[in-house]
Amino acid sequence: MAKHVIVGCAGLPHGVGWPRYFQRLPYLELTSLHAGPVRPSVLRRWRESAKHPRAFGVVAPAIITHTPGPRGYGPRGWPLPTGRAHEAGGFRATELVAQGVDALVAGLDALDAGVAVFRSPPDFTPSTGNREALRRFFGEVATAERLGDRTRVWHPSGLWDPPIAHAFARELGVLCGLDPLGADPEQRFAPFWASLTGEEAYYVVSGLGRSRRRTSNDHLEQLAELAARHDRAWVVFATTEPFPDAIRFSRVVTGHAEEAEALDDGPEGEADVHAADDGDEDA
């Protein structure tokens, strides 16, 4: 297995409280700051729930990455000054985007987070203009120095083919958030996946293109083999049942594949995984 595999979920799973989550998993990709501002006191309280250092990754505010809709980012979303919506999102070189980076850094500090995740929306295509925007953003705004010693991850979607996105992320000096299962269901890029190696990797498993609610044991084994090629690999589940999937994957990674298979096969194992949902607390 990889020297260091870090397993978690994309967002706190529904019905799972903070203490229970961190009893079972070491990492959480936090999505709350993407949606809108979060009070520093709330972020610090969430930090106190974690059992591990650098337990959080923070998804960047939408005001950095996503173009607002007709109603902006919604009533609880990031506020937009009147007449300046065109300056938000798209990794633009604007004051609003720079303010979003300030909010991201403050959130990273409050959570003692180790990863900053920048999700680009499906309409952010691999155009020349968007490539230049990303070069400028990571080279001048969200630089390695600005974010401290945190790992920067760019998570593309839409028309970015995995090999192209991975190569471009390397040019930018950031990790590329890839989905080995959902982004390539027909395995058109099988040679690319087979060749992936490196010091670090960041995999986000969405479950797209698969009919099963839970990720199969065969797919978990494939993920474990892929993670094993890196000195450090984050594997983040954004599947239909992310919490059970992540727990089962942790058991595969630690060599308890028989337990993971039992959880995959019967209702008794399912009850064992969902026992972590008891005693939930509100954030």
- Asked whether residue 190 is assigned to any structural domain, the reply reads yes
Q: What is the domain count for the chain?
A: 1
Q: DSSP strand E in 26-180: where?
A: 27-30, 56-59, 115-119, 151-155, 175-178
Structure letter (DSSP) for residue 275: G
Q: Scanning the structure block, which residue is given the tokens 């203490």?
A: 19
Q: What ranges make up the beta strands (E) of 46-107?
A: 56-59
Per-residue model confidence (pLDDT) at position 209:
53
282 part of a folded domain: no
Alpha carbons within 13 A on the beta-carbon side of 92: 17
How confident is the prediction along the chain (283 residues), in pLDDT tens digits per residue? 446 999 999 999 999 999 999 999 999 999 999 999 999 999 999 999 998 889 999 999 999 999 999 999 998 899 999 999 999 999 999 999 999 999 999 999 999 999 999 999 999 999 999 999 999 999 999 999 999 989 999 999 989 999 999 999 999 999 999 998 876 777 888 899 889 998 999 999 987 655 567 888 999 999 999 999 999 999 999 999 999 999 999 999 988 555 555 555 444 334 444 433 333 333 3
Residue 208's pLDDT is 63
pLDDT on residue 261: 53
**pLDDT at residue number 123:** 95
Task: Provide the pLDDT for residue 262.
Answer: 52
In whole angstroms, what is the distance from residue 281 CA to residue 44 CA?
16
pLDDT at 14: 93
Answer whether residue 76 is part of any domain. yes
Q: Which CATH number belongs to the domain containing residue 59 in this structure?
A: 3.20.20.410
Residue 283 forms part of a structural domain: no
Does residue 213 lie in a domain region? yes
Cα–Cα dist 283/265, whole Å: 32
Q: Is residue 64 part of a domain?
A: yes
Q: Which residues pair with 277 in a beta bridge?
A: none
| 258 belongs to a structural domain | yes
Residue 269: predicted pLDDT = 37
Domain hosting residue 92, numbered range:
4-277
CA distances from 102 to 138, 221, 280 (A): 14, 39, 32
Whether 246 contacts 213, CB under 8 Å: no
Supply the pTM of this predicted model.
0.89
Within a domain: 139: yes
